[in-house]
């Protein structure tokens, strides 16, 4: 297994920056907000096309953010830390609970190319024909299509916000020519927005995307730098299986040492070594049941 040398990662310095005019002016009319959200999505499209951005890791981290928003919509208290625990510290036979199920749904939705089959895997409570019908509910420009899908799902099932938001993001991805779902809408919407319909919901979706894309672009740049550093220090690792472990960290938001392809003690030592090298962070602040991520 080979890793790019630090002097080969010049692409990091050329990641395009979001133009200030996209976010510096607060506008109200639908057509103006739509123009700015379109500009933001076009910029994100360029960022996602850069090889230095760890795409799978970015989607997984955005999935956690979307799950956190959906859990908050439902009135539950779990936040990112609890959601990570509910997913990554599960033992065989354990159930993740409602918040964990929400987190797993978003993660599964981003793991595979957007198809009806992959969305059934993320949303097993829905049938394939229901998902196909929902995806066909939108017409027009990408954000309009996504808003129409969300509108259609919530009209039929007002409490199905997780399914509606996943299907809306899937519709957006398809309309933009992305093969994978990028979680964007949920984290930018407010709970009250989910009760809106028609043009009001469309305006809320444009605003949500404008704010979420800014966060996604910033996160993409941060993860690109962190991934480059992890690859740079990887040759210093001597543990057998360290290369495979590094690849896992480059694709997942968080990992427990027990999930790494190393003996338990060696896995913990590797994680601590990478933290010492500034390539990983310990995400829980605990002395036990720790989770690590880029």
Tell me the CATH architecture of domain 237-293. Orthogonal Bundle (1.10)
Among 235, 291, 233, residue whose Cα is nearest residue 258: 291
Distances in whole angstroms, Cα of residue 286 to Cα of each of 27, 82, 155: 44, 13, 43
Q: Give the Cα separation of 176 and 168 in Å (integer).
A: 12
Supply the Cα-derived Rg of the chain in whole angstroms. Answer: 20
Among 8-12, 107-111, 151-155, 216-220, where is mean pLDDT lowest?
8-12
pLDDT digits (tens, 9 = 90+) for 77-118: 999 999 999 999 998 889 999 999 999 999 999 999 999 999
Q: Any idea which of 26-30, 64-68, 166-170 has the lowest mean pLDDT?
A: 26-30
Which residue, 276, 68, 243, is CA-closest to 162? 68
Query: What distance in Å separates the CA atoms of residue 248 and residue 65, rounded to the nearest whole number?
Result: 20
The string of pLDDT tens digits covering residues 196-235 is 999 999 999 999 999 999 999 999 999 999 999 999 999 9
From 154, 237, 163, select the one nearest 198 (Cα to Cα): 154
At residue 14, the pLDDT reads 72
Summary mean pLDDT of the chain: 94
Q: What is the largest CA-CA distance in the chain?
A: 58
* pLDDT value, residue 16: 85
The reported pLDDT for the residue numbered 6 is 46
Average pLDDT, integer, range 281-285: 97
Quickly list DSSP for 99-127.
HHHHHHHHHHHHHS-S-HHHHHHH-TTS-
pLDDT tens string 111-142: 999 999 999 999 999 999 999 999 999 889 99
With cut-offs at 50, 70 and 90, classify the pLDDT of residue 154.
very high
Confidence of residue 39 (pLDDT cuts 50, 70, 90): very high
The pLDDT of residue 12: 66
- What's the pLDDT at 92? 85
* pLDDT number for residue 36: 95
What residues form DSSP beta bridges with 292?
255, 282
* Euclidean distance between CA atoms 132 and 81, whole angstroms: 34
**Coil, strand, or helix at residue 255?**
strand
Here the tokens at position 226 are: 């962190």
What is the pTM (predicted TM-score) of this model? 0.93
């Amino acid at each position: 297994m080979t890793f790019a040398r630090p002097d080969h990662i010049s692409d990091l310095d050329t990641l395009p920056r979001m133009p200030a005019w996209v976010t510096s002016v607060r506008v109200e009319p639908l057509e103006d907000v739509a123009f700015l959200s379109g500009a933001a999505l076009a910029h994100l499209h360029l960022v996602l096309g850069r090889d230095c951005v760890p795409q799978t890791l970015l989607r997984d981290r955005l999935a956690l953010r979307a799950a956190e928003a959906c859990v908050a919509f439902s009135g539950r208290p779990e936040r990112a830390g609890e959601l990570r625990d509910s997913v990554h510290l599960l033992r065989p036979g354990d159930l993740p609970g409602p918040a964990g199920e929400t987190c797993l749904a978003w993660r599964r939705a981003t793991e595979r190319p957007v198809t009806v089959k992959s969305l059934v895997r993320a949303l097993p409570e829905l049938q394939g024909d229901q998902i196909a019908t929902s995806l066909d509910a939108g017409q027009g420009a990408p954000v309009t299509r996504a808003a129409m899908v969300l509108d259609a799902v919530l009209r039929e099932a007002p409490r199905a916000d997780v399914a509606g938001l996943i299907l809306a993001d899937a519709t957006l991805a398809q309309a933009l020519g992305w093969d994978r779902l990028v979680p964007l809408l949920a984290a930018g919407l407010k709970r009250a927005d989910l009760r809106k319909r028609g043009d009001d919901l469309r305006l809320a979706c444009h605003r949500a995307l404008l704010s979420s894309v800014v966060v996604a672009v910033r996160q993409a740049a941060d993860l690109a730098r962190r991934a480059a550093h992890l690859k740079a220090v990887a040759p210093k690792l001597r543990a057998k299986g360290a290369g495979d472990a590094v690849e896992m960290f480059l694709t997942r938001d968080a990992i427990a040492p027990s999930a790494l392809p190393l003996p338990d003690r060696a896995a913990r030592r590797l994680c601590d070594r990478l933290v010492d090298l500034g390539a990983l962070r310990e995400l829980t602040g605990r002395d036990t049941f720790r989770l690590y991520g880029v």
